[in-house]
Amino acid sequence: MSYSKEELIKYRLERAKEAFEDGEILANNSRWNSAANRMYYACFFIVSAYLAKRDLKATTQKIFKY
């Protein structure tokens, strides 16, 4: 199945929001390692959405134009 760029961006933003909300719940319960993990993934999905919007692709430490 193939998705449009807009669908991919929307999906990644939804995942970021969900990860952030999970991180808040974990932090409110003093589950710091798990909260940090969720916040890491929230950032990861936000950056992934941004790169997709700009037609960029990240590989380990380099960013390439598609």
Q: Give the residue from 46, 35, 39 showing the smallest Cα distance to 11.
A: 46
DSSP state of 61: T
The pLDDT score that the predictor gives to residue 59 is: 73
Task: Compute the distance between CA of residue 49 and CA of residue 57 in angstroms, rounded to an integer.
Answer: 10
Per-residue pLDDT of the chain (66 residues; tens, 9 = 90+): 788 999 999 999 999 999 999 999 999 999 999 999 999 999 999 999 999 999 988 776 565 665
Q: Give the residue from 20, 64, 26 showing the smallest Cα distance to 44.
A: 20
- pTM score of the predicted model: 0.82
The domains of the chain are located at: 5-65
Q: What are the helix and strand counts (H, E) for the chain?
A: 2, 2
User: Which residues face 57 on adjacent strands?
Assistant: 64
The pLDDT score that the predictor gives to residue 4 is: 93
